[in-house]
Amino acid sequence: MVDMKKLMKQAQKAQLELNRVQEEIKTLTYDSSVGGGAVKATVNGSLELVSLTIDPSAVDPDDVEMLQDLVCSAVNEALRGMNEISAQRLNAVTGGMGFPGF
Q: What is the mean pLDDT of residues 53-74?
A: 95
% of the chain beyond a pLDDT of 70: 92
Q: Tell which wins on pLDDT, 4 or 78.
A: 78
Of these ranges, 6-15, 33-42, 88-97, the one predicted with the greatest mean pLDDT is 33-42
Return the domain boundaries, the chain. Answer: 4-92
Residue type, 12: Q
| Mean pLDDT of the chain, nearest integer | 90
In CATH, which of 2.30.130.10, 3.40.50.2300, 3.20.170.30, 3.30.1310.10 is domain 4-92? 3.30.1310.10
pTM above 0.75, yes or no: yes
Q: How many CB atoms neighbour CB 91 within 10 A? A: 13
Taking the alpha carbons at both ends of the chain, their separation in whole angstroms is 31
Contact 86, 17 (CB under 8 A): no
For residue 51, CA distances in Å to 27, 67, 99 come to 15, 16, 30
